[in-house]
Amino acid sequence: MSSHDIYDLVIIGGGPGGLTAGIYAMRAALKTALIEMGVPGGQMNNSDSVENWPGDEHIGGSELGMKFHQHAQSYGLEIISQEVAELEPGLEVHTVKLAGGDQLSAHAIILATGGSPRKLDIPGEEEHYGKGVSYCAVCDGFFFRDKTVVVVGGGDTAAEESLYLAKLAKQVYLVHRRDALRAGALLQQRVKAECKIEILWNSVVTEIKANDSGVYAVDLQNTQTAEKKELAADGVFIYIGFEPNNKLVPAGTKMNADGLVVTDEKCETNAPGIYVIGDLREKAYRQIVISASDGATAALAAAHYVETRKSAEACELPEALQTEAS
Ligand code: NAP
């Protein structure tokens, strides 16, 4: 393989972290490819409104994703729409094997594969997915206009999506297992002030029931009293956090008990030249701006890493000259 076939950097994942890394890598003149199997923007595409991206008081999640994408493309970033099957670390270069059979080699890799919605793992959830069970209000909320929906969870996402659904549905029940929401203070205030949202505290959904027309009810259980009841609902939206998409993380990479990758402050893993950013990386907070910051950090670190490797290689004497010199 000639050095022309080797990328300086391959970024896997096109969410806010991956696309920011792409922008920074192109500005650092790295030969870079970004591989994304879905729509660029990642989880941002599931968000109706983003209100904490500096510089934009309100912006639609998919619109923000599109802006990141266009910005990266304006620098000529090569974007490959494929699934990655495997990442094989190497001493000289790392190999990215695509599901279609092709493979790419790169000096540095940034893994930005984020996470996927965590499942409740209750009866009816998997069977009725797409028939009343959803993990994306922006995608499916429209089908519940003037209907009754249940939202499960107590974090920022459950709060944001309840507010979104309240614009469409007749009634939103926010079912939370504790007596206090985890969501930020401002979101909590808005949820509590929205008359279409009723919070069912200390409650869990134990079963989702459906007939031929779709979901018609959920079974609830009180976590304090163990009391059970059926609640009529046409749809169930589940927002109980994310599971990291870590299947491409090479064996031997340091991870914590939650499957999140441990990195240093430059987002570099214990495998030299392999960086992990965004929601796949162990850290305190998960925000679009923090993923973007990770992307910038990792791309700058990767640029330094690639430059150092290349100058070390350039300083090595060709084999013939080495023999003469000895
Ligand atoms: P999260 O903060 O992890 O909250 C998950 C919620 O689901 C918690 O309230 C949790 O209850 C509940 N839960 C977990 N497992 C459950 C189960 N098996 N049954 C019932 N309830 C369960 O997840 P998230 O709201 O998706 O947010 C993920 C991260 O993204 C957070 O860091 C959040 O701040 C961030 N986020 C950022 C933005 C933004 O930047 N604009 C938007 C949305 C989210 P407990 O509270 O009892 O643990």
Task: State the catalytic residue, choosing from 56, 102, 139, 258.
Answer: 139
The model's pTM is: 0.85
The length of the chain, given as a count of residues? 326
- What gap in Å lies between CA 11 and CA 55, rounded to an integer? 26
CATH number of the domain where residue 175 is located: 3.50.50.60
Instruction: Provide the β-strand partners of residue 173.
Output: 150, 198
Q: Is 202 in the pocket of ligand 1 (CB under 6 A)?
A: no
Same domain, 74 and 136: no
Q: Is 240 in the pocket of ligand 1 (CB under 6 A)?
A: yes
Domains of the chain: total: 2
pLDDT tens column, 56-109: 999 999 999 999 999 999 999 999 999 999 999 999 899 999 999 999 999 999
Instruction: Provide the β-strand partners of residue 56.
Output: 53
- The residue range of the domain holding 88 is 3-116+242-325
Same domain, 141 and 225: yes
End residue of a domain, out of 238, 263, 282: 238
Same domain, 90 and 224: no
Q: Is 119 in the pocket of ligand 1 (CB under 6 A)?
A: no
Same domain, 214 and 246: no
Q: Is 244 in the pocket of ligand 1 (CB under 6 A)?
A: no
241 CA distance to ligand 1 middle (Å): 4
Task: State the catalytic residue, choosing from 5, 48, 56, 140.
Answer: 140
Nearest CA, atom 16, ligand 1? 240
**pLDDT tens over the chain, length 326 residues:** 445 579 999 999 999 999 999 999 999 999 999 999 999 999 898 888 898 999 999 999 999 999 999 999 999 999 999 999 999 999 989 999 999 999 999 999 999 999 999 999 999 999 999 899 999 998 899 999 999 999 999 999 999 999 999 999 999 999 999 999 999 999 999 999 999 999 999 999 999 999 999 999 999 999 999 999 999 999 999 999 999 999 999 999 999 999 999 999 999 999 999 999 999 999 999 899 999 999 999 999 999 999 999 888 888 755 555 544 44
140 noted as active-site residue: yes
Same domain, 60 and 105: yes
- Residue 319 confidence (pLDDT): 57
End residue of a domain, out of 183, 213, 238: 238
Distance of CA 180 to the CA centre of its chain: 26
> Could you tell me the CA-to-CA distances from 252 to 94, 181, 270, 325 in Å, in that order?
15, 37, 8, 39
End residue of a domain, out of 190, 222, 238: 238
- What gap in Å lies between CA 301 and CA 1, rounded to an integer? 25
Nearest CA, atom 22, ligand 1? 240
